[in-house]
Amino acid sequence: MGIFDLFKQIESGSAGNLHGKLTWIVAGLGNPGLEYENTRHNAGFLTMDELAKQCGVKLDQMKFKSDCGEAMLGEVRCLLMKPTTYMNLSGDAIAAAANFYKIPPEQVLVIYDDISLPPGKLRLRRKGSAGGHNGIKSIIAQLGTEEFPRIRVGVGAKPNPQYDLADWVLSKFSEEDMTALQPALEHAADAAKKIVSGDMNGAMNLYSH
């Protein structure tokens, strides 16, 4: 490690804090680029930003086709990821990291948007189908299993049945929705900490509603 890398770690608050083997991946889904910032499909990215802020780290390492950073969630060393592959290829990034670190699917936590939940609501699951979500379809295809935990962040339903789904998920949150969303992002970050520490039941009891 060069001196500049050390300074970078110190600036991000991560120097000296990491210990133990990296045993979990926490990945938030979204699309890269300014045009997609604060869109409904980027609720996973927004959660990762909140989690990184709480951990005092920056997701500024580009590897596994993702913006990454390592952090301790409690006593658990985790790789935090925001795949930059675009949503439909999220599995490429996550599978690459899981294969590299030899992380089993049940220790890959995925955070993503859900149009069936209103903004501010969360739903936690140990496993499950893609439910029509292209990012999750990609992850299931690349990991070869549906058995990975996930946190679904409510972003609100289409305003009417005729509204194009792609247009809706790529639309920006309203001010009102962002106000409702902020506590949910904080709760999702807290839930992630509980899940990686082995307390999925506690996380579900507190935050899944």
Q: Which residues are known catalytic residues?
A: 41
Q: Alpha helices of 102-174 — where are they, by DSSP H?
A: 134-143, 165-169
98-to-139, 148, 165 alpha-carbon distances in Å: 11, 12, 31
Query: Which secondary structure element, helix H or strand E, spans residue 181, and what is its range?
Result: helix 175-196
d(CA 154, CA 46): 12
d(CA 94, CA 24): 11
- Burial string for 35-65 (b: 16+ CB within 10 Å, else e) reads ebeebbbbbbbbbbbbbbeebebbbebeebb
d(CA 184, CA 55): 17
10 Å CB burial of residue 165 (0-12, 13-18, 19+) is exposed
